[in-house]
Every structure is written in structure tokens, then in C-alpha cells.
Amino acid sequence: MLDLLPASVWNDQKTFFEPACGNGNFLVAILRRKLAKIPQPSARHPQQDVEFEILRSLSSIYGTDICPQNVEETRQRLRGVITDHTSETKYWDTHHTSTAFLPLVEDILTLNIQQANALEPGKTLICEWQVPGTKKFRKVFHYLKEIHAPVYEDKEIHAPVYEDKEIIDYGRLTFKT
């Protein structure tokens, strides 16, 4: 099924949402294709830049399911794809992986793969990972609307927990939360 999509959809900026993700088969295949487009770490592509691109790819994938076991299995499988990708990457230096990389993978998985009923609009809070500048993330929370409507509402949620104040230093990269 994914082979029917044009090659242009496999960049890190295209967003995928699976409203009934099950155990993640479709999302795993999407993530693998996105990761295949990311260059290997090298002098031209420092490992931190590659880490950022991996996080960008992961942050563009969303899924919901009503079964909590499916949600957890999907998260585990996506985590496994990231682990496999970094361990199979020829020049990946595990000793120089940024300290924020794995915690951010967990944060993205927790926020992007949720137990929810996508047919009940307005009850599911979705985190949009915006990249407002070079090597930065900003979390903006929206309620999921009806499936036939645009996925995100135009307004930000202004709950104190979600304000754009905390800065996570990621080496040369900065991730706003």
C-alpha cells in the first residue's frame, strides 16, 4: 500500500496519522521509509544533525488506538525501529549520542501514540512538533477534530503545563517544550 504513494511523501516534514493503529504495522513501515532517507553520520552530516532528523521523522508520525496494549506495543515497535536504525548505521557512535536523544524519543512516543477513540472528536489532545527555526522543536497542543475536518484546530492550548517556557539544551541544538 505504501508503494502507491509518491516518493515525495517520505521526507521528514510530511505527517502521518493512523486513527486505529493496532500494533503499529503501518506506522513502523512509515518510520522505516522516513529513516531510510536520512544520511549516515559523517563529517558532512554530524551525528547530532542526524539525531535531529531522526527525531523529526519520528515526531511526524501519530497514532491512536482504543486498546492500551496496542498503544504500548506500537510504542515498543517504533522504539525498536529507532534502536535498530542507530545500531545498523555504519558510523553511529553510541558513546557520543546526545544525552537528550533517547529521552526525546520517549517523549515523542508518549505524546504521539495515544490511547484514544479517534471517532470521538475534541477529546484527544495531540502534540504538534513544530520546527520554528534551525534545529529547534516547539510543542503545540491541539484537540483532535473530526476525521473529515482538518486534524488540528487553529488555537493553542494555554494550560500552564504546555506553555513554551522550558528549554532543553541539546548540545548545539535547542528543543523548546
Residues in the chain: 177
Which letter does DSSP use for residue 40 in this model? P
52 by Cβ neighbours in 10 Å (0-12 / 13-18 / 19+) ranks as buried
**Distance of alpha carbon 99 from alpha carbon 101, whole angstroms:** 6
pLDDT tens sequence across 46-105: 888 888 889 989 999 999 999 999 999 999 999 999 999 988 877 777 777 888 888 889
Q: Domain residue spans in the chain?
A: 2-176
- More reliable by pLDDT, 144 or 10: 10
User: If you count DSSP H runs as helices and E runs as strands, how many of each does the chain have, helices first?
Assistant: 4, 7
Whole-model pTM? 0.76
pLDDT tens sequence across 122-160: 777 777 777 766 666 777 777 766 443 334 333 333 322
